[in-house]
Amino acid sequence: MEYKLHPSILAADFKNLGADIESVVAAGADGIHIDVMDGDFVPQISFGMPLIKSIRSATDVTFDVHLMVTNPERYIETFVECGADIVTIHAEATRDVENALKQIRRAGVKVGLALNPGTSLSTLDYIIDDVDMVLLMTVNPGFGGQKYIEKATRKIKALRAMAQNEGRELDIEVDGGVIAENLNTVLEAGANIIVMGSAIFNGKAADNTKLYKEEIRRFLG
């Protein structure tokens, strides 16, 4: 299984966004996590298509687009046209999860499904084969810089076990409150795609990226 670090640009300084992205990529970031918030599924509005299109010209790295958007099926193709490589929708945001996942698949990119901390893993029964990646929210979505919800560790472990039972090398992404102090915990629990926002962009983003990549390498032994 591949282990990846995806800095979340929600925590970046937008006036230097292009340079920030280039520097974390040069420092070893495996992808960029892009949080799209619509002011309906979550209270905040972050950014949308024009921004993604514009930063696409800065780098070839994987764009991991996390749609915190109600009825995301309205926008899937558009985000792919803007440069998304992974499109993740929330199970809580659509009435027809299965169809929305198929729509992402048809659009030709990796299929991600996000679950809020309070959403049961049983949501994945019967649809786990339709997804490439499950994003487990380890905070309630909406804001960067929140505290990791400890109970989520158990959920990561349970999902890794569920995937193993199915004989799948499922990508498990963790998102929210991941910092130096709990990076090892989420890796040990079974996460292999690590989103870090404030832990990377508060301070020197390139140095932090190197530091956390190193910690992931150490974990792998």
Tokens 């990549």, residue located: 213
Contact 182, 151 (CB under 8 A): no
The window from 71-79, 166-174, 181-189, 193-201 that contacts ligand DX5 (CB under 6 A) reads 193-201
Residue 160 is a binding residue for Zn ion (CB under 5 A): no
Token reading at 201: 């962009």
Q: DSSP class of residue 69?
A: -
Residue 170 is a binding residue for ligand DX5 (CB under 6 A): no
Give the x/- contact pattern for ligand DX5 in 25-54, rule: CB under 6 A. --------x-x-------------------
CB count, 10 Å around CB of 148? 18
Give the x/- contact pattern for Zn ion in 18-37, rule: CB under 5 A. -----------------x--
- From the list 20, 35, 38, 171, the catalytic residue is 35
Residue 112 is a binding residue for ligand DX5 (CB under 6 A): no
Residue 10 is a binding residue for ligand DX5 (CB under 6 A): yes
Residue 66 is a binding residue for Zn ion (CB under 5 A): yes
Q: What is the signed CA dihedral for 185, 186, 190, 193, rounded to 10 degrees?
A: -150
Neighbouring C-alpha atoms within 13 Å toward the C-beta of 139: 17
Residue 117 is a binding residue for ligand DX5 (CB under 6 A): no
Residue 171 is a binding residue for Zn ion (CB under 5 A): no
Residue 175 is a binding residue for Zn ion (CB under 5 A): yes
| 20: partner contacted, choices Zn ion, ligand DX5, none (Cβ within 5-8 A by kind) | none
Task: Based on the residue annotation, tell me whether 125 is a catalytic residue of this protein.
Answer: no
Give the x/- contact pattern for ligand DX5 in 132-161, rule: CB under 6 A. -------x-xxxxxx---------------
Task: Based on the residue annotation, tell me whether 175 is a catalytic residue of this protein.
Answer: yes
Token reading at 198: 């404030």
Contact 62, 32 (CB under 8 A): yes
> What is the C-alpha separation between 197 and 54, in angstroms, rounded?
20
Tokens 């979550």, residue located: 42
CB of 164 to ligand DX5, least distance (A): 26
List the 110-115 sheet strands across, edge first: 4-7, 193-196, 171-175, 133-137, 110-115, 86-90, 62-68, 31-37
Catalytic residue numbers read 35, 175
Q: In the complex, which residues of this chain contact ligand DX5 (CB under 6 A)?
A: 8, 10-11, 33, 35, 66, 139, 141-146, 175-178, 195-199
